[in-house]
Structure 1
Amino acid sequence: MAKTRVYSNGYFYDLSYELVNPKCEKSILILHGWGANKELMKQAFEKFLSDFKQIYLDLPGFGNSSINIPIDSYGYAKVVENFLTTIEQDIDYIMGHSFGGKIATIMCQNSIFRGLILLSSAGIVLPKSFKIRFKIALFKILKNLPYGDFWRQFFISKDVQGMNEVMYETFKKVVNENFENEFQKIKSPILIFWGNEDKATPLKSGAVIHSLAQKGKFFALDGDHFFFLKHADFICEKIHEDFLKND
């Protein structure tokens, strides 16, 4: 594990990262999702991408990386871009899970990568179910009653439990970002992988991204939001087949 200090968005960030196989010619940046860290992604993919230089990063506010102010997904993408400049690494491919998929998508707006890999990416805002809409409406009523803070614990998402104020405000910034236009603009080839039983980012979101992508392939696999932990070998096989054979 290594650490570097990056200046971005007007602040300094202490970022924790790991560089695997530094002598390999092809390089891939792998970004984790909300609430996760670089170790989870390294656990899944390191052994299957042995012919890649792999860069794993703890995004600001996660793992061992710091954050100072609430930022949206574009702010995160800027930090990651400045991070790559700081450690003097050029990237051929980029992979992102969930929230990391949105960051990877933004970075593809600014640079042309040889390939983008999305794993149950966030960024598609689907209509909320009646149950969710009812829950939100009920909480808005209860929070204005006496002991309003008491009721909050029964309504907040598991994603925000235990967060500090900066990360909670960050979550509110990123949770409802609609990236349909961003997905549509990507010129790099895209491999899209999804879990059939994913409830955090439903399978329908993957189908929407596939319909928007200019050069996309879509694979629905068995599993939930963290389906990639048991399908990393298949995902990496497709990366090799679709990307490396054409290089």
Structure 2
Amino acid sequence: MAIKSVDYFGKNFAINYEIVNNDKSEVIVFLHGWGSNKEVMKKAFGVNLKEFKHIYIDMPGFGKSDNNYVLTTIDYAHIMKIFLEKIGINHNDVTIAGHSFGGKVATALIPKTLILLSSAGILEEKSASVKIRIQFAKLCNALGLSTLTKMFRSKDVENMSQNMYETFKNVVDEDFTEYFKGFYNQAYIFWGESDTATSLESGKKIAELIKKSQFKSYTDGHYFFLHYSTQVSKEIEKCISSTKV
């Protein structure tokens, strides 16, 4: 585990990270999802992909990386770009794997090879209960009763600071269709078939949007890769090897 200081438009971020298989030359960067951390990604892939140097990162506001600012997904991508440069990595020359929110950040970085694990970025119809909570929150804010809205916040932001809640509001309804459509390198997309956070239909749509992509699904939910880590790792190795031929 190590800490690297990153400056971004006068804002300082202490980024917590860990490198595994440091003697390997081919790099794969892992970006976790919202409310998660690098340890989840390491748990899945740390003992796999032995021919790769692994870089596990706590993005700002998660794990052991603090964040005192309100950010967007593109801010996160720029911060990760600066971080990778600081440790001697060109983000355009490596493989980046992103889960959920991390999938959007990974896509925005335009890596040589993109691995998406149940990525966010496709807007989906909200359930009736979610729509009611949103309308109630707007009414409370209009009446100056903003403290009541905390009772109706998503579980994704429980116990988070106000700036991270505002960051969540920035990123949760982003439509990344154009980013997926504009991604021109090779992408490999893996999904959980019973995912209720990012639906299987979203995964198939992303696969349609990214011209050079392959898609594979597994019988599990949003964190399917924890249960299928060996299988997913073998697929990644096979896919990347095929692009070298």
**TM-score relative to the length of structure 2:** 0.93
Count of matched residue pairs: 242
Letter in 1 for 2:126: K
Once residues 144 and 86 of structure 2 are traced to their aligned partners in structure 1, the CA distance between those partners, rounded to angstroms, is: 50
What 5-or-longer segments of structure 1 have no aligned partner?
none
Aligned-partner SS, 1:187: coil
Once residues 6 and 173 of structure 1 are traced to their aligned partners in structure 2, the CA distance between those partners, rounded to angstroms, is: 22
1:103 aligned residue: 105
Using a 3 Å threshold, how does the CA distance of structure 1 residues 161 and 23 change in structure 2: closer, same or farther? same
Once residues 190 and 148 of structure 2 are traced to their aligned partners in structure 1, the CA distance between those partners, rounded to angstroms, is: 39
**1:221-240 paired onto structure 2 within 5 Å:** 221-240=218-237
2:19 aligned residue: 19
**1:5-16 paired onto structure 2 within 5 Å:** 5-16=5-16
What 5-or-longer segments of structure 2 have no aligned partner?
none
Shift, 1:144, TM fit: 5.6
- Over the residues paired in the alignment, what is the CA RMSD in angstroms? 1.7
Kept after mapping to 1: 8 A contact 2:77/2:108: yes
**1:71-90 paired onto structure 2 within 5 Å:** 71-90=71-90
Letter in 1 for 2:114: L
2:121 aligned residue: 123
Once residues 46 and 8 of structure 1 are traced to their aligned partners in structure 2, the CA distance between those partners, rounded to angstroms, is: 29
Kept after mapping to 1: 8 A contact 2:140/2:148: no
Sequence identity of aligned pairs in percent? 40
**1:147-158 paired onto structure 2 within 5 Å:** 149-150=147-148, 152-153=150-151, 155-158=152-155
Using a 3 Å threshold, how does the CA distance of structure 1 residues 235 and 69 change in structure 2: closer, same or farther? same
Aligned-partner SS, 1:234: helix
Aligned-partner SS, 1:211: helix
Deviations 1:15-66 (A, max 9, x none): 1000111111211001000011111100100111111001000000111112
**TM-score relative to the length of structure 1:** 0.92
2:210 aligned residue: 213
Once residues 210 and 86 of structure 2 are traced to their aligned partners in structure 1, the CA distance between those partners, rounded to angstroms, is: 31
Kept after mapping to 2: 8 A contact 1:199/1:224: yes
Using a 3 Å threshold, how does the CA distance of structure 1 residues 9 and 198 change in structure 2: closer, same or farther? farther
1:137 aligned residue: 135
1:60 aligned residue: 60
Once residues 148 and 73 of structure 1 are traced to their aligned partners in structure 2, the CA distance between those partners, rounded to angstroms, is: 25
Once residues 124 and 164 of structure 2 are traced to their aligned partners in structure 1, the CA distance between those partners, rounded to angstroms, is: 23
Once residues 47 and 89 of structure 1 are traced to their aligned partners in structure 2, the CA distance between those partners, rounded to angstroms, is: 22
